[in-house]
Amino acid sequence: MAEELKKGLDGVLVAESALSDIDGDEGRLVYRGYDIEDLARGATYEEVLYLLWHGRLPDREELDAFGDAMAGERTIDEEVMRTVRALAEADANPMAALRTAVSMLPAYDPAPDDIESTDREVTFAKGRRVTAKMPTIVAAFTRVRQGDDPVEPREDLDHAANFLYMLNGTEPDDVAADVFDQALVLHADHGLNASTFAALVTASTLSDVHSAVTSAVGTLKGPLHGGANQDVMEMLKEVDDADMDPLEWVETALKEGRRVAGFGHRVYNVKDPRAKILGERSRELGEAAGSIKWYEMSTAIEEYMADQKGLAPNVDFYSASTYYQMGIPVDIYTPIFAMSRVGGWVAHMSEYIEDNRLIRPRARYVGPRDLEFVPVDER
């Protein structure tokens, strides 16, 4: 009997993990035993990184030391910055620019360029450095592209606030910093998604941390994985520019065979728990700005899709309007996703290589057989 083909490895178990668990029927996401809602509302991104990497939440002394170590690694080498500038001036795709810059980082990293499978702290030290530097790369690229000079990172701000400071040149208010930190927490890990699996494939060869992260960034660049929140915001702006009722726009789009961005998920059968939290923050940001039109537009579309198509929103659906109301350029939404998810990538590769096995699936051959070879001059 022929083996069952699982396109896209759909439903195939390839590893055991203690990092995150997704209940697609109940709409729950757990990081190392903690409900995502509790972490999003009570923990910082640095705390969540520590949890993912070390298996427990840090105490105050441990968190301060971890945060200080992260903050001290934010500056990128001038050669990397020159490349970031050149890519920005060439108007490169932001994810392509991030991928290229990340691939340069190991040339200036103090540790050997390999994965040390017997010492997780070596992997985490490299992971800490790449996690600290990715926001600097994204912010510098964005500013140079806009005709501004990069802003040097500050060590007295936390991870989220420092990124917004480097991006805008001014220190963010507490609300903006808190919302952005919460978004980073919500995106930090999500099981063996495509980019995480790509990182594991690379790590399983015992390559190196930066190569694995580069693989993951390249995978996240694809619109079927990382670009959905950008698609959502472009959709909402199209509805707004057309000055149409959101439901009329959705009905027209569906009749034309267009996809409504931000709905459906490979794992969740109900509303993504992260969408619930970001929806609340989108509304709060709108209320603070004096207009909740983006939130109202989003909820109207959500209700229609639930009633007419039985589809629930994923995390991208509300992260889009949340970022937009914070003044973040639409085309760096996916690099921001990468800035967060790198924590999960590092955690998964460290966990996997402790009991490593080279990832090497097989394909079923369906091509011709027994063809007779003809020399080139007789063809």
**Around Cβ 249, how many Cβ atoms within 10 Å?**
23
Q: What would the 3-class secondary structure string for 242-304 be?
A: HCCCHHHHHHHHHHCCCCCCCECCCCCCCCCHHHHHHHHHHHHHHHHHCCCHHHHHHHHHHHH
Please pick, among 190, 210, 265, 348, the residue that the annotation labels catalytic.
265
Assess contact for 15 and 192: CB atoms under 8 A: yes
Q: How far is CA 353 from CA 109, 115, 346, 360, in A?
A: 21, 9, 11, 15
**Around Cβ 311, how many Cβ atoms within 10 Å?**
18
Confirm whether 225 is a catalytic residue: yes
Extract the tokens encoding 331: 């085309």
Please pick, among 54, 225, 240, 331, the residue that the annotation labels catalytic.
225
Please pick, among 181, 189, 272, 316, the residue that the annotation labels catalytic.
316
Q: How many residues does the chain have?
A: 379
Confirm whether 265 is a catalytic residue: yes
Phi and psi, residue 193, nearest 5°:
-70, 175
Long-range contacts of 105-112 (CB under 8 A, 24+ apart): 105/76, 105/80, 105/129, 105/130, 105/133, 105/210, 106/208, 106/209, 106/210, 106/211, 107/77, 107/79, 108/77, 108/79, 108/80, 109/210
DSSP state, residue 2 = P
Catalytic residue list:
225, 265, 316
